Amino acid sequence: MRLAVCQVSAALGDKAKNIATISRAVHTAACWGTDLVVLPELFLTGYNIGSRAAELAEAMDGPSLTAVAKIAARESCAICVGFAERDGKNVFNSSALFDTQGNLVALYRKIHLFGPKEQELFTAGDELVVARLGDCTIGMAICYDIEFPEFARALKRRGADLIVAPTANMLPFVEVPTTFVRARALENGLFLAYANHCGTEAELEYTGMSGISGPDGLDLARAGIRGEALLLAELPTTYPIGSLSTQSDDLRLSAEK
């Protein structure tokens, strides 16, 4: 699989502008033969929308997600994007995965909501999501989820080869992209795509540092703190012997001995 991670600034509350940004990014990635583009958390609206979350949230069959699906089909490129999802009275911090025909492959609702603000605005999800895309099994995560080793391990145990993590990580939490993301990939012997915002939204300044980490815990691609970036990496089908973690197979808890 050829994978792209898009580090980009969202236009706060302007879905039309953000969809246009998605269209340009996916077109560029598709010109390089990319199979999947991963975009940041809540990118359709911008992350720091505060009390407007309920107003801006859309159902899966709403106009914004329909537009993203059409982009995927037009460019023959799969897309994973974060958005505010409306389902009845509930609003979720969600991500959608569309295949190269624009079909919805997976919908994930963020389980670990970060801090009192997210917990006030969104309903927490309660279901792990793993989906097949081509020859790859993809585990779905959003931002704070990736800080929990147990979460990534659960996706691995469900067969994930690659975790995609739209994110909105802000300063001062630089340890997340520099340590946690690489550790989750290494611990579980899988690839991890981490797509962050950059720049500022109101009082928030993002860390950037989007990346694609390999099963050996090393970066296949990494963006800087500032500035937009489109990261591209070919995910190898094999790695050198000894570089892949086997802990998920060998773990023995004391209660099981």
110 tagged catalytic: yes
Catalytic residue among 41, 75, 85, 147: 41
Clarify whether 143 is annotated catalytic: yes
CB-neighbour burial class of residue 88 (10 A; exposed 0-12, middle 13-18, buried 19+): exposed
SS3 79: strand
Q: For residues 171 and 195, what is the distance between their CA atoms, to the nearest angstrom?
A: 15
Cβ distance 10 to 167 under 8 Å?
Answer: no
Instruction: Note the maximum CA span of the chain.
Output: 57
Nearest CA to 102 out of 140, 59, 68, 61 is that of 68
- Catalytically annotated residue among 6, 80, 143, 198: 143
């959608």: which residue's tokens? 96
Say whether 198 is catalytic: no
Q: How far apart are CA 104 and CA 113, in angstroms?
A: 24
Contact present, 3 and 233 (Cβ < 8 Å): yes
Tell me how many helices (H) and strands (E) the chain has: 8, 14
CB 198 within 8 A of CB 7: yes
Catalytic residue among 110, 118, 198, 201: 110
Q: In what order do the strands lie in the sheet with 191-195?
A: 130-133, 136-140, 162-166, 191-195, 211-213, 219-222
The residue written with tokens 């537009």 in the block is 67
Q: Which of 189, 190, 179, 106 is nearest to 147 (CA)?
A: 179
| Residues involved in catalysis | 41, 110, 143
